């Protein structure tokens, strides 16, 4: 059975294999694009505070979503993204608990070499993140307890690099890697998270 990392590896190899095909497509002013993607989110400590002597962590897990982009010029575009990560919180006394994270981002995108089949890009933007814990975290924190910790929402920042590779005039493959700052996902402490995402997607251009 293929693991999540095996699937990402196969997707990466498959996309690079298309690099031998001659160029024919491009990013142009006024064009629009829709992408579906799947990948991996690499988590972080949920809080610097220990609950019952242990540090809760946001686990690494699959992320997926949709992106819509509009290109104002050949180089500059704006992209809206809706993403979902069905993760879990580990490092808890007893069993782990699920944490679903939904993100909405608005990113400015700059394309390099937009007139070619292989189009690298950089992006950065801001958004909103909503967390949904399956159950509250309850325990002793710094000798005080019981303390109840529940989910919360907050803003998010992201920045990354990637590449689009056109296999036809209207269809592209896309690799994307980005850093994400999450202002907060729990309500009890003012702890932010630093996560990373790598994704592979298919895009349709019109």
Model pLDDT for residues 130-156, shown as the tens digit of each residue: 988 877 777 677 666 677 676 778 899
- Position 145 scores a pLDDT of 67
pLDDT in tens, 29-45: 999 999 999 999 998 87
Query: Could you tell me the sign of the dihedral formed by the alpha carbons of 36, 200, 122, 172, in that order?
Result: negative
Q: Average pLDDT in the 72-97 region?
A: 88
- Position 159 scores a pLDDT of 99
Q: Average pLDDT in the 121-136 region?
A: 91
Question: Strand runs (DSSP E) across the chain, as ranges?
Answer: 32-42, 57-58, 61-71, 76-90, 97-111, 118-133, 137-141, 144-149, 153-166, 171-182, 193-205
Q: Average pLDDT in the 72-91 region?
A: 93
- Position 36 scores a pLDDT of 99
- Position 17 scores a pLDDT of 40
Under 8 Å CB-to-CB from 173, ≥6 apart: which residues?
14, 15, 18, 164, 165, 167, 200, 201, 202, 203
Token representation of residue 125: 């933007």
Prediction pTM value: 0.80
Token representation of residue 16: 């690079």
- Could you say which architecture CATH assigns to the domain 4-205? Beta Barrel (2.40)
**Poorest-confidence range of 72-76, 161-165, 186-190?**
186-190
Burial label for 192, CB within 10 Å (0-12, 13-18, 19+), is middle
- In whole angstroms, give the CA distance from residue 29 to residue 26: 10
| Residues above pLDDT 70, as percent of the chain | 77
Radius of gyration of the chain (CA): 19
Q: Helix (H, G, I), strand (E, B), or coil: what is residue 14?
A: helix
- Position 21 scores a pLDDT of 42
pLDDT in tens, 18-33: 444 444 457 899 999 9
- In whole angstroms, give the CA distance from residue 151 to residue 163: 34
């Amino acid at each position: 059975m293929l693991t999540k990392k095996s699937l990402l590896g196969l997707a990466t190899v498959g996309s690079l294999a298309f690099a031998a095909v001659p160029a024919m497509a491009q990013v142009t002013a006024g064009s629009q694009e829709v992408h579906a993607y799947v990948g991996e989110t690499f988590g972080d400590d949920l809080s610097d505070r220990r609950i019952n002597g242990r540090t809760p962590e946001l686990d690494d897990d699959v992320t997926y979503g949709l992106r819509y982009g509009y290109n104002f010029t050949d180089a500059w575009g704006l992209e809206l993204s809706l993403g979902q990560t069905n993760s879990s919180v580990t490092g808890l006394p007893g069993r782990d608990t699920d944490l679903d994270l939904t993100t909405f981002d608005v990113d400015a995108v700059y394309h390099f070499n937009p007139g070619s089949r292989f189009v690298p890009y950089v992006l950065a933007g801001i958004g909103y993140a909503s967390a949904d814990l399956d159950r509250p975290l309850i325990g002793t924190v710094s000798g005080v307890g019981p303390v109840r910790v529940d989910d919360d929402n907050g803003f998010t920042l992201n920045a990354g690099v990637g590449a689009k590779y056109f296999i036809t005039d209207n269809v592209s493959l896309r690799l994307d890697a980005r850093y994400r700052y999450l202002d907060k996902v729990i309500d009890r402490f003012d702890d932010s998270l630093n996560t990373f995402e790598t994704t592979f997607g298919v895009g349709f251009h019109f």
